[in-house]
A and B are shown apart, each in its own frame.
Chain A
C-alpha cells in the first residue's frame, strides 16, 4: 500500500487581514489589498504599489528579542505555522520529533534584513569596504536564510529532515511538493510545509523596476493587479506566508483528523529558455500539468478549478493560457481559472503556498475565488477567468500552477483522498 500525503491543517498570513478567515473573506469577496507602499518611502521608484500585511508582531505573540533578531519572512512563517498546527488539531506534544519534518519555500529569503543592514554597514552605499563594526550580531542569519526552516522546526519540535526550498516564484509549490515526497517515501509522518516571503524592500522594488515587470499604476493602486485583463501592465509585489500540516493519510485517519485535501500530484519542469522570459507556447508548463495529473490519476474532466499563476504581466498570462489549452485541450475553455494575485499581489516564493491554501479553502467551501479587476479580457486570453465575483460550485479536484524566474514551471493537483481508494 502506498503512502499518501494529505493536508490536515493550514495557516495563512496574507495581505488584507490577519489569519485564514480574513484571507478567505477577502479573496472570496473579490476585494483587493494592493496599495501604495507604506513600509518605506517609495517615491523614487517606478512602481510604488504593493500588497502589504498589517502585521503586528507583538499582537502575534512574538517577543521583542524575536522581532529584533528574526527577519519578517521568518515571523510570517512562524505565525502561519502556529495557526496550521492548531488548525490540524495536533499539539507539539502529539508530534514524534524524529518523524516530524519541515520544508519551507522562499524566493528571496531575508531581503529586508539584508537591504536594511547593507545600508547600515555601507553608510548608504558610500563604501565598497563596508564596515564590520556596524554589523548586527545576527547578520549571518540574513545571509543564509535557513532560520526560515530552523525556527519552524524548533517551534514544533521537529527533528526529521528540514530544508528551505528556493526555486524563485515556484518555491511555494515546490516546498509543498518536496514535503509530500518526504511523507510518501517514509522519511516523515507529519510535515510543516509551506512558504514565506517578505520582499517589499527597496532592492526588490528596484530590480523589478529595472525589468519593467511590476505595474506602474501608482494612481490606481487598488486595481493595479489585473491578470488576464486587456489593460494589465505588470504584477504587484506582495508578501505573506502559508504553512500546511501535511500528514500521512493513515496517520491522519487514525486520529480522525479533518482532511482538506490530498497532495495527489506534483511535477516541476524548466523551460531552459531564459532566466526571465517565457516561451509563448507554454510547453514546459503544459508538460508539468500533464505529469502532475498523471501522478494524481486524474483526467481533464476531473479538474473543477485551476488556480492560475496569473501574475498580470503581458507575457505570463498569455503563456499560461496557452499552457492550459495545450495540456487540457478544449476542456480548458470549460474549467474556471482564476488568479488571486489580483487581490493579494505576488508574494514571490510564498504565493504558491498561499494559492494552495486558497485551493484547499475553495474545496472546503465549494466556492471558487474570482479574478478581481478583470473588466475586459485580453482577446488572446480567452478562457473563463471567473471575473470579479466568486462562484459557488462543487470543487473536488483542483490544479494549481506556478511559473518563475529561472524557467521553473510547477503544477500541483489537490484531490479528495476518498475518491482514490486503495
Chain B
C-alpha cells in the first residue's frame, strides 16, 4: 500500500441502483429493509408455457424518462439500466465528469449475456425475414462491451476501461479491477459495476436447461438459499454502479461522502467437477481478508453468494464456517428479494453492503425461514438486524467455478 501523507485508498463515493424491488438507491434500500421482494410471476411476456414462470423483473423503469431519445433505439434494456444507474451514481458522488481529467476516468463493467433481448429481436429478423432486416445497431447493442462503451461515451471518460465476464462473480471482479487500476495510478476515478437483463423469452429459454434455476411455481418460495427447502435460484435483472475513487483525489474535488473503502479482494477458480481437490471458495475469502490485512473477527457481516442450490449452499456455508468459525459472523443474502442478477448481482450486493455500513443495519434474507441442519452459519432471517457494521465481506460465485470475495471497510 502506498503510504505517505496522501491517502490514496480506493473509496466508494457514489452508488446507482436499478433492481427488481427498487429503481434508485433510496427505493431499493427502503424495500430491502422492509423485506419487499421484486420476485413475482413474469409479466413482460407470456411465460405460462415455460417450466419457469417466476423472475425478478424491473417493471418500474420507464426508459424514455431516463434515456435520451437518440439512444433508445440502439440500446438493450440492460444498457438503459446501466446508463441510468451510472448517471445516478455520478450525481450521488457529486462528480461532474466534465471537470475531471478525461484520461483519469475509466469504466469497468461486468456482463454475462450482453443485450440479449435486443439480440433476440435481431435474430428473429435474421431467421424469420432475412439478413437485410438486421439492425445496424446489432453490431454493438448485443455484445458484452456495450455498457462500458456507452457509459464512457456519455460521460466523456477516456481512461483505462475494461469488461469482465465471470457470470455472477463479475460484479465483484469489475469493482476489484477498478481498484487495481486506481492503485496502479492508471486512473483516479472509476465507474464500476455490472448489469444484465436476460428476462426475455430467448433469455429465459437459454437459462431453463441450467439445472440451477428454480422450477418451483411460487414467487414466495422459489428462491430460498440455505433453507432446508432450497430448490435453486430465481433469475432477475438489474444491477448497480459504484463510483470508485482515489481517496485523496476525491477529497480534493470535494466529494460529498465516502461509503467505504474497497479494502481487499481475491479470486479463485474451482477444480473441475469430480476432482479430489475441494472447492476453492474458502481460499478466496481468506485471500480477500489477507489482502485487506484483516482478521475474520473484524468482519461484521458476510453478504453471501447464496446460490439456492443445496450442494452449493453447503459449500458456501462450510467455507464461511471454516474461515470465521461456526456461527461467528452474521450472514445475509438480500438477493432473495431480487433473484440472481448475473453480473449485476454481486455489484448490487456490494452496494447493499455499503448501505448497511452507512446505516448500521443488516438486511434480512427473506423467504428463507428454516436454515438447513448442518449449516453452521448465523443467517439473518425474518427481520433486518440493527448493529454497527464497520466492515463487510461480499462473496460471489460464477457458474463454472469462479469464486470472488471483496472486503469493504469504513474509512474513518
List the interface of chain A (C-beta within 8 A of B).
44-46, 97-98, 101-102, 106-109, 114-115, 117-119, 121-122, 124-126, 128-132, 135-147, 149-150, 153-154, 157-168, 171, 174, 178, 181, 185, 187, 202-203, 205-211, 213, 267-276, 284, 287, 404-408
Contact = CB atoms under 8 A, between A and B. Distances in A.
Interface residues of B, number: 87
A162 B267 CA distance: 8
A165 B162 contact: yes
Nearest to B148: A406
B165 A144 contact: yes
B46 interface: yes
Interface stretch (B20-28, B31-39, B207-215, B303-311): B207-215
Nearest to A212: B136
A128 B45 contact: yes
Given A44-B130, A166-B164, A270-B106, 10 more contacts: A114-B206, A144-B165, A161-B268, A168-B149, A171-B145, A203-B138, A206-B134, A207-B134, A207-B135, A287-B158
B126 to A, nearest CB: 5
Nearest to A43: B131
B113 to A, nearest CB: 5
| Among all A-B residue pairs, the 10 with the closest Cβ atoms | A125-B128, A406-B149, A125-B127, A166-B144, A161-B267, A140-B210, A150-B400, A164-B165, A143-B206, A207-B138
A269 B150 contact: no
B157 interface: yes
Contacts of B160: 267-269
Interface in B247-282: 266-272, 277, 280
A55 B164 CA distance: 28
B129 interface: yes
B161 A405 contact: no
Nearest to B177: A178
A309 to B, nearest CB: 16
B285 interface: no
A123 to B, nearest CB: 9
B100 interface: no
B192 to A, nearest CB: 14
Contact of B165 (A160, A163, A174): A163
Contact of B272 (A46, A154, A202): A154
Given A185-B180, A269-B103, A269-B160, A125 B143 contact: no
Contact of A129 (B136, B155, B201): B201
B166 A153 contact: no
B111 interface: yes
B185 to A, nearest CB: 11
Interface in B192-226: 198, 201-210
Given A136-B209, A146-B400, A161 B201 contact: no
Contacts of B203: 143
Interface in B162-194: 162-167, 173, 177, 180, 184, 186
A122 B124 contact: yes
A165 B269 contact: no
Given A130-B205, A146-B399, A167-B148, A125 B129 contact: yes
Interface stretch (B9-17, B81-89, B115-123): B115-123
Nearest to A153: B269
A287 B46 CA distance: 50
